[in-house]
């Protein structure tokens, strides 16, 4: 017989909730049907037609503030031609469940659901309200999902803790032991549009004021600049914990000097690993460039867009000022289309200790450490309200499979779903003191 977690995920992955357009109401119907059968009351929300979210609660004794199990229903697009199976077939092959959203984050959505159902099925009385919350629109910024819910129905989402995506376990990074990352923070996002204009002209007679050339020259000045490594308190702690498995970090553990850590990371080639660099630096990525419409015409405008990700403690405005200085061209108009600080939750809470401990109990020898998510998630909206959020997902994946998030052949193993359910249920039971 198929395990319930595997069966549910396979069915959930068949539901196409590609955002845009989202159609998250289909996911809401999937959960509503389960809650109906289990005799659990729920409430649905619709930010705009088709953009549904759903919330169910198991009331607790009120000893502690509520815990929300948060997950998003929408997924990013998938091109079926590129995949080894139909990305919306929920196919199970060679021990893996394939489908868009298997890792991000329908797999975790099912773990959260099963942990929630377990409390209900066993008739347990948690020490706090336990809230299951599946939302729309995370992949496009949350305006039709969590942002709408918190703006319009904020009183229904009061909590002392939110468990969300952003955590994962890596099986093949440390020698002889698993590494679980529990996301306590995520980087800020700043998006800049750069616009340069100049006189048009004929391609046969360059006049030296070509808008596209001016923009490209300024961009190369900017991109030639190295972003420095910044050792934030979170990263300092992260590497101290890792020293148990990576002995080459010991000189840093002994003297605690950021310069020592930077030296070690440089010598070991760590800064060449994009994921590692993203944890240690503010990053700038030039992702869009528009100009010109004919090869023999000098264009009179050129535009570029930059995706900038900021470490905790960094002020977006200061970074924009640095970027303007590096561009060194006052005729470039710089417009921020989005700008947010990094968000962070304390590592000193009892709930955080519980989460780490349960990971270690189920995976003896494993390290469970606070980590920084490079991307953005819905956690930032709760953190802005002062509610602690942790990215927690007790699944052990390889770096190769992690690269399939938003990519081709996204998949999760059956074993991860089965074992992950056990661990996740245990985490929720301990957080609820039952």
Binding residues for Zn ion, rule: CB under 5 A, are: 104-105, 165
**Which of 140, 245 has the CB closer to Zn ion?**
140
**Which of 146, 427 has the CB closer to Zn ion?**
146
- Judge contact between 146 and 381, C-beta under 8 A: yes
Please enumerate in sequence order all residues whose Cβ is within 8 A of that of 432, keeping only pairs 6 or more positions apart, or say none: 60, 67, 119, 124, 126, 127, 128, 130
Phi, then psi, of 333 in degrees rounded to 5: -85, 130
Residue 232 corresponds to which tokens in the numbers above?
């934030």
- Least separation in angstroms between residue 103's CB and Zn ion is 9
**Which of 192, 372 has the CB closer to Zn ion?**
372
Alpha carbon 347 to its chain's center: 18
Neighbours of 296 (CB within 10 A): 7
Residue 211 corresponds to which tokens in the numbers above?
């808008």
**Which of 164, 282 has the CB closer to Zn ion?**
164
Helix 25-38 with 107-121: angle, nearest 10 deg:
20
**Which of 362, 411 has the CB closer to Zn ion?**
411
Rounded Cα distance, 42 and 56, in Å: 4
- Least separation in angstroms between residue 351's CB and Zn ion is 22
**Which of 139, 351 has the CB closer to Zn ion?**
139
Rounded Cα distance, 234 and 398, in Å: 24
**Which of 98, 252 has the CB closer to Zn ion?**
98
- Least separation in angstroms between residue 105's CB and Zn ion is 4
CA dihedral sign of residues 351, 353, 354, 359: positive
- Least separation in angstroms between residue 378's CB and Zn ion is 8
With CB atoms as reference, the residue minimizing the distance to Zn ion is: 104
- Least separation in angstroms between residue 379's CB and Zn ion is 10
- Least separation in angstroms between residue 401's CB and Zn ion is 15
- Least separation in angstroms between residue 170's CB and Zn ion is 18
Rounded Cα distance, 364 and 200, in Å: 67
**Which of 90, 107 has the CB closer to Zn ion?**
107
349, 352, 357, 363: CA torsion to nearest 10: -160
| Interior angle at CA 232, CA 228 and CA 236, nearest 5 | 110
- Least separation in angstroms between residue 420's CB and Zn ion is 16
DSSP of 295-340: TTEE-SEEEEEEEEEE-TT--HHHHHHHHHHHH--TTSEEEEEEE-
């Amino acid at each position: 017989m198929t395990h319930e977690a595997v069966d549910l995920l396979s069915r959930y992955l068949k539901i196409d909730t590609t955002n845009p357009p989202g159609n998250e109401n289909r996911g809401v119907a999937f959960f509503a049907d389960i809650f109906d059968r289990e005799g659990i009351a729920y409430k649905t929300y619709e930010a705009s037609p088709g953009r549904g979210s759903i919330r169910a609660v198991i009331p607790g004794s009120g000893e502690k503030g509520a815990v929300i199990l948060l997950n998003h229903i929408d997924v990013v697009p998938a091109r079926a031609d590129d995949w080894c199976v139909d990305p919306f077939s929920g196919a199970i092959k060679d021990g893996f469940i394939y489908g868009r959203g298997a890792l991000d984050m329908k797999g975790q959505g099912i773990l959260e659901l099963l942990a929630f159902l377990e409390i209900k099925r066993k008739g347990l009385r948690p020490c706090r309200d336990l809230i299951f919350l599946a939302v729309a629109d995370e992949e496009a910024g949350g305006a039709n999902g969590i942002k709408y819910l918190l703006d319009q129905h904020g009183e229904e989402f009061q909590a002392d803790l939110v468990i969300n995506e952003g955590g994962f376990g890596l099986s093949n990074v440390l020698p002889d032991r698993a590494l679980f990352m529990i996301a306590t923070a995520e980087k800020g996002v700043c998006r800049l549009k750069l616009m340069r204009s100049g006189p048009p002209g004929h391609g046969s007679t360059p006049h030296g004021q070509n808008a596209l050339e001016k923009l490209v020259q300024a961009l190369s000045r900017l991109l030639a600049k190295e972003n420095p490594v910044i050792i934030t308190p979170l990263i300092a702690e992260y590497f101290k914990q890792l020293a148990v498995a990576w002995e080459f970090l010991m000189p840093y553990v002994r003297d605690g000097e950021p310069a020592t850590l930077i030296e070690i990371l440089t010598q070991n080639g760590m800064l060449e690993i994009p994921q590692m660099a993203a944890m240690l630096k503010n990053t700038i990525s030039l992702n869009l460039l528009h100009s010109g419409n004919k090869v023999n015409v000098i264009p009179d405008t050129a535009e570029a867009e930059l995706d900038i990700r900021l470490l905790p403690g960094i002020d977006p405005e200061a970074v924009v000022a640095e970027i303007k200085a590096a561009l060194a061209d006052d005729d470039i108009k710089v417009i921020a289309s989005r700008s947010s600080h990094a968000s962070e939750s304390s590592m000193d809470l009892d709930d955080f200790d519980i989460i780490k401990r349960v990971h270690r109990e189920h995976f003896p020898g494993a390290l469970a450490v606070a980590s920084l998510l490079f991307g953005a998630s819905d956690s930032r909206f709760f953190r802005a309200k002062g509610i602690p959020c942790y990215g927690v997902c007790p699944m052990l994946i390889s770096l190769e499979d992690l690269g399939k998030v938003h990519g081709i052949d996204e998949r999760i193993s059956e074993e991860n779903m089965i074992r992950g359910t056990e661990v996740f249920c245990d985490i929720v039971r301990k957080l609820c003191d039952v």
